[in-house]
Structure 1
Amino acid sequence: MEKIRAFFWYCSGADTETLKKCPTDSNKYVGIGATIFFTGIFAALAAAYAFYTVFDNAWAATGLGLLWGVMIFNLDRYIVSGMRKRNRGFQELKIALPRILLAVMISVVIAKPLELKIFEKEINGELALMEQEAFARQKEVISDQFVAQKAALQAEIAVLKEEINQKAAKRDELARIAQQEADGTGGTGKRNPGPIYQIKKADAEQMEAELNELRANNNRLITQKEQMLATLAADEQQKISDLKLAAMDGPAARLEALDRLSQQSTAIWYANLFVLLLFIVVETSPIIVKLISQKGPYDYELEKKEYQHEASFYEDRAALHDEIKKKSEAMAEREKNFVEERLNIKLDQT
């Protein structure tokens, strides 16, 4: 039990020798150290899962996850150990604010991979839907490449067919006029297949010949263009068949899937928020505890040690200053004596 307590003291960043003299503060720093330790564990687990989705290798993910957890543990320990209790509320809050902001940022980094793991089943379903959507977009892009060519060929076929229809309509009209001339219901109004009828019949036969020629030529062109359409359709189908369903399993895709799920489901949005808030509370709690707690025996002992070091520093500096001053005075005295000796020599010489 003593070893566990000492370990959590170390995790809290406290000076263990000083803390042993202050048993009333022991539990507070055990709690702070345990929070920092378990935050590092959660960070390692979250990072290991995140790295596994990237490298798909358990050993690499474990090693990098442990490295990340140790880094977060050391950073949290440094953040908390750097705070000092001075019973100066506003100044302590100003000092703690950057640390709180940093802790919040760390919370977001730790929470996000764990959120991905918590909602893994829902995310996998959304990823399958995203894969289908991406596949449909790829098919649409391929189809768009053939739209213009297919539309042009279909328009040309429609023009050729319309030419045949228009020629057939003219043929039918001339045949009708000739028939009316023959039965007396039109034209001259006489029922007599005379010269006028023969002329109109010849016009109708001429139009029939032109229609047959046009139909033969246009049908040949229509067949060619329909074959071109069939070739384009086959090329399009081949390109679509060559498409493969892109696997979406990376961290970016999972984050996008979680974001989509949060927008679609209020329950998932709130659950996502509460997980994040939980980690923010856990990450910032050691700082908040040190900020709102009263100054205890450990803080006084620590302040006394720091004051002793500070006083020793000033004493050493004062002693060094006196020593330098004495050396300067001695040097000045020697310089003065030297000058006087030189003057005396010159006076004796004169």
Structure 2
Amino acid sequence: MKSLKHFFWFCSGANQSLLKRCPTEASKFTGIGATVFFTGLLAALSGGYAFHTIFSHSGWAIAFGLLWGCVIFNLDRFIVSTMKKNRKGRWHELFMASPRILLAVMLAIVISKPLELKIFSKEIDRKLVLLEETIYQKEIATIDQRYQQQASLLQEQINTLKAEIEAKRAKRNELATLARQEADGTGGSMQRNAGPIYQLKKADADRAQTELELSIATNSPKVEALQGELTALRQKQNMELAGIQRNPWNGMAAQLEALRQISLENKAIYWANIFIIALFIMLECSPVIVKILAPRGPYDELLEIREHFFKNHNLEKIAQMDFDTRERLSPLVS
């Protein structure tokens, strides 16, 4: 138990020789040291999980987690040990600690995210399936849109050529009907005969038939060629669609995106996410907050006396050295 207390004193960055002379301060610095230690431990767990999520390697995850925890532990210990309880009040101490508090906010966001991903892992997994399907359908839509423009242009050309043939056919049918009606007396002059009027109408129908045959002979090869291009284009599109792979979308960036969308869709998860981040901000700021809230005690008085003693001692040494130098140089100057 005693060694554990000394370990927490070390974590707090306190001068243990001075702290042993102040028994009433032992509990305060034990608490400060424990806060620093457990903050670093939590950072190690979170950092290790984040690294494992990215690389799926337990050995490297443990190594990185320990390294990240040591970095946070050393940073908190340095900040806490350099925060002196002066006589200017807590607002001055809070101002001096503001850079560390801003850093704590950023660290809390970084540390909390991996644990949030673990807490909401089931919801995130379901969302990832939907997001993966959305990405897959988006790739299909992109390919379809790219080929649809070319296919529409080819189909429009085919329809134009076919429409020209059908227009010639309709004209031929109309003129042939008029000639037949003139011949059987059901139309035209209403007299059944094959006279000059019929001959004129028959000539118009024959001319229309010739134009139809010419149009078919001219446009049909073009239609077949365009149909071939359209078929080849569809085959190419189908091959490209078949080549799309449904790659698993479950990396850390994908999980963060899924968590963001879930938070927007579900108010309960949104507020839970906010409170988790706030909790980690409080935990990251706790070493600084504990040090600020701790009252000035005998340890701080002894520390100020010792620092003041060393400061005055150094000033005396410097003054003595300056005096000795002037004494040695005075005969030479005279």
Q: Give TM class, smaller chain.
A: over 0.9
Which amino acid in structure 2 is aligned with residue 176 of structure 1? T
Do the aligned partners of 1:142 and 1:236 also contact (CA within 8 Å) in 2? Answer: yes
1: CA distance between counterparts of 2:123 and 2:87?
49
Give the equivalent residue in structure 2 for 1:170: 171
Q: In the alignment, residue 301 of structure 1 is paired with which amino acid? A: L
Report deviation, 1:75: 0.6
Q: TM-score, normalised by structure 2?
A: 0.92
TM superposition score normalised by structure 1: 0.88
CA–CA separation in structure 2 for the residues paired with 1:110 and 1:197: 97
8 Å contact 2:46–2:112 — kept in the other structure? yes
Shift of 1:185: 4.1
Separation (CA, whole Å) in 1 of partners of 2:2 and 2:228: 88
Q: Relative to structure 2, which stretch is displaced further, 277-286 or 117-126?
A: 117-126
Which region of structure 1 is more displaced relative to structure 2, 116-125 or 68-77? 116-125
1:265 aligned onto 2:286: no
Structure with larger Rg: 1
Report the equivalent of 1:125: 126
Partner of 2:50: 50
Range with bigger deviation, 311-320 or 157-166: 311-320
Structure 1 counterpart of 2:22, which letter?
C
1: CA distance, partners of 2:56 / 2:101: 34
Q: What is the letter of the counterpart of residue 181 of structure 2?
A: Q
CA shift at 1:216, angstroms?
Answer: 5.1
Match of 1:190, SS?
coil
* 2:18 paired residue number: 18
2:104 equivalent in structure 1 = 103
State the partner residue of 1:190.
191
Structure-to-structure mapping, 1:300-315, within 5 angstroms? 300-315=301-316
Deviations 1:155-214 (CA, angstroms, capped at 9, x unpaired): 111012111211111012102211231233433332323232133123323423442453
**Distance of 1:317 and 1:220 partners within structure 2:** 107
**Residue in 1 aligned with 2:216?**
215
Report which stretch shifted further, 271-280 or 316-325. Answer: 316-325
Q: What corresponds to 1:148 in structure 2?
A: 149
Task: State how far apart, in whole Å, the 2-side matches of 1:35 and 1:290 are.
Answer: 10
Q: 1:140 Cα deviation (Å)? A: 2.3
Letter in 1 for 2:49: Y
Task: Assess if the C-alpha contact under 8 Å between 2:182 and 2:192 holds in 1.
Answer: yes
Specify the code of the residue in structure 2 equivalent to 1:193: A
* Paired AA for residue 202 in structure 2: K
* Corresponding residue of 2:32: 32
Is contact 1:53-1:249 (8 Å) kept?
no
CA distance in 1, matches of 2:104, 2:153: 63
The alignment-based identity, stated in percent, is 45
Distance 2:81 2:108 in 1: 18
Structure 1 residue 104: Cα displacement? 2.0
Q: Contact between 2:101 and 2:285, CA under 8 Å: does it hold in 1?
A: yes
The separation in 2 between residues aligned to 1:19 and 1:110, in whole angstroms, is 33
Quote how far apart the aligned CAs of 1:323 are. Answer: 1.6
Q: Which runs of 5+ in 1 are unaligned?
A: 337-350
Q: How does 1:156-305 map to 2 (within 5 A)?
A: 156-215=157-216, 217-305=218-306
Q: CA RMSD in A?
A: 1.9
Aligned equivalent of 2:4: 4
CA contact (8 A) 2:49 2:61 kept: yes
Q: CA deviation at 1:39?
A: 1.2
Give the superposition deviation at 1:119.
1.8
Amino acid at match of 1:5: K
Letter in 1 for 2:175: L
Counterpart CA distance in 2 for 1:148 and 1:107 is 50
Paired residue secondary structure (1:244): coil
Which amino acid counterpart does residue 140 of structure 2 have in structure 1? K
Q: Secondary structure at the match of 2:126?
A: helix
4+ residue runs of structure 1 moved beyond 4 angstroms?
none
- Counterpart-to-counterpart distance in 2, 1:20 and 1:116: 44
Equivalent AA in structure 2 for residue 32 of structure 1: I
1:319 and 2:308 matched: no
